[in-house]
Amino acid sequence: MSNSPDVLFLVLDSLRKDRVSTYDHDRETTPTLSTLATYATTYENAFTPAPWTLPSHASMFTGSFPSEHGVTNGFSDRMSRLEPSRSTLAEELAAAGYRTAGFSNNPWVGQLSGLDRGFEEFVEWDLEISSSADDGIHTRRDERHSRFHSVLGKAARQPAFLLKRRFFTDSLVDRTKRWLARRADDDEPTFTFLNLMEAHSPYFPPKQAFADLGLEVPNPIEPRVLNTKLLAYVMGKADLDPETRERIMEYYDASARYQDSKVEELFGLLQTEGLFDETLVIVCADHGKTLGDYPRDEHPPHYLRDINLNVPLWIKRPGQREGERIGEPFELVSLFDVVRDGDPPAGTHTCETAIAEDFVPHAGRTTPDEITRWRVAADREYKYARNDAGEEHLYDRSADARQSSPDPDRLESYGESLSKRVRRFGSERSDAADDGSATDREIDADVEAQLKDLGYM
């Protein structure tokens, strides 16, 4: 690496761009990120490589698309894990002399998928310390939590839960702050990754977050009832009536507001330690989240909507003090190169057309007989979608509306653009779940239960 600044890579899991105040949401859900935008680069058309957590993180960690790295689907009987031959961002940075730490709120991102590779410190969603090279990072309480992590995982399950997600979020943020403070005076640069899931269902935001937004504060029973209805919707067992959906979006906004307060803590720690100015800070969502916006059985699948693919992204370069907005498309896959570059010039790594892939279904207990792959090519005006059967669709992005009779020449042009990009992928693993190269791995019962609660299974 030509430049070796400290790096803070913060993924706000499932944070929808349209619910972020920086992107003109009418509620002040993210005041900390709005402040960040005043001296960072805000991307208007950042696209995730995949509309759900596992392949999206694998792409950001490897700089490759799902059909290249092969982590496309997650099933309990044949879990797609990252191949050992493909190095991760943390591994490359560690080899370049970085101290590395990861704190993940999502079960998919960690030892389950192999995305913990390269981190000398790694804390899993249930507070298991899966990697540790420094005895001073974790308190005795942390070590007890790690020892009894399976008990904590069970206590967090629906419907009879003892712990709300905030317990895990608070712990992961506190440990991240402790790691950053301990490394503040080190000569070696640091790479710190953190995944937070407050924008991912189920939603249990604190009462103060509702009050901050001027929303009705829920009684003790409402969160459980509302999240039960939401899980039934996510699993395709029930629809959301307009009143319920409106209240869910209020919970979503309150969760985003609470999460933003935790981001403020992280930034405050960096500023207190005198680290913020020269740190490369990346904040993004790995994907959005459809909450009754579109029919779940629509065709093409609702996962291809901008609400899932077009995500919020901020990059603050070392020494950057003036905010800017960039409208050209940007692929989250390129964050791999942004971090390796260390201090990339403003506006680099953008592209004319952003690519995304979706392998449906995403996850389940058993591998389905058939997996359908969709690919998307999007610029500032249109979005082109095509599946492996050759079915084509064109969307006007101004309203994310599928054109019933698209212009044949425009359809052909976008199709050729997509094919040209895909040809540059090189050797790809388009059917990783069935090609025999994936490693068999049984998902622990506690992890599978958590994935069920999150709506993956």
CA dist., res. 155 & res. 311, Å (int): 32
403 pLDDT tier (thresholds 50, 70, 90): very high
Q: Which of residues 163 and 89 earns the better pLDDT score?
A: 89
The DSSP line for 158-189 is: SSS-SS-HHHHHHHHHHHHHHHHHHHTT-SS-
CA dist 385 and 287 (Å) reads 17
Question: How far is 330 from 349, CA to CA, in rounded Å?
Answer: 7
Residue 158 pLDDT: 65
Question: CA–CA distance from 292 to each of 39, 141, 228, 246, 378 (Å)?
Answer: 35, 40, 15, 10, 23
Q: Is residue 174 part of a domain?
A: yes
Q: What is the rounded distance in angstroms from the CA atom of residue 359 to the CA atom of residue 339?
A: 27
| Alpha-carbon gap, residue 450 to 47, rounded angstroms | 27
Residue with the larger pLDDT of the pair 51 and 426:
51
Joined together, the tokens standing for residue 456 give 């993956």
The model's confidence at residue 133, banded by pLDDT at 50, 70 and 90, is confident
The answer to whether residue 406 is domain-embedded is: no
Indicate whether 370 belongs to any domain: no
Nearest alpha carbon to residue 110 among 126, 99, 97 = 126
The model's confidence at residue 410, banded by pLDDT at 50, 70 and 90, is very high
Q: Quote the CA–CA distance of 312 and 25 in Å, as a whole number.
A: 12
Output the CA–CA distances (angstroms, integers) from residue 137 to 102, 170, 177, 281, in the order listed: 12, 16, 10, 22
CA dihedral of 391, 397, 399, 400, whole degrees rounded to 10: 40
pLDDT single digits (tens) 2-18: 579 999 999 999 999 99
As for how many domains the chain has, the answer is: 1
Contact criterion met (CB below 8 Å) for 27 and 213: yes
Q: Is the pLDDT of residue 434 over 50?
A: no
Mean pLDDT over all residues of the chain? 91
The pLDDT assigned to 310 comes to 98
- The string of pLDDT tens digits covering residues 252-305 is 999 999 999 999 999 999 999 999 999 999 999 999 999 999 988 899 999 999
- pLDDT score of 433: 39
35-59: average pLDDT? 97
Position 392 in a domain: no
Comparing CA positions, the residue from 112, 70, 62 lying closest to residue 90 is: 62
pLDDT recorded at residue 438: 42
Return the CATH number at 167.
Answer: 3.40.720.10
In a domain, 85, yes or no: yes
Total-model pTM: 0.93
Say if CB 110 and CB 88 are below 8 A apart: no
Confidence of residue 439 (pLDDT cuts 50, 70, 90): very low
List the domain range (segments joined by +) for residue 193: 7-354+421-453
Interval 19-38 mean pLDDT: 96
The pLDDT of residue 353: 95
Nearest to 195 by CA among 69, 110, 93, 94: 110
pLDDT tens per residue across span 139-148: 999 999 999 9
For residue 164, what are its two tokens? 């709300």
pLDDT average, residue stretch 116-126: 96
Neighbouring CB atoms inside 10 A of 171's CB total: 18
Residue 24 falls inside a structural domain = yes
DSSP notation for 326-389: E-S-EEGGGHHHHHHHSSPPTTTTB-SSEEEEEEES-EESS--S--EEEEEEE-SSEEEEEETT
The arithmetic mean of pLDDT across residues 129-151, rounded, is 89
pLDDT above 80: residue 70: yes
Is residue 399 in a domain?
A: no
Cβ atoms of 349 and 442 within 8 Å: the answer is: no
Residue 196 located in a structural domain: yes
* Amino acid identity, position 206: P
List of residues 6+ apart from 413 with CB closer than 8 A: none
Tell me the per-residue pLDDT of 308-335, one tens digit each, with 9 for 90 and over: 999 999 999 999 999 999 999 999 999 9
Q: What 3-state DSSP class applies to 57? A: helix
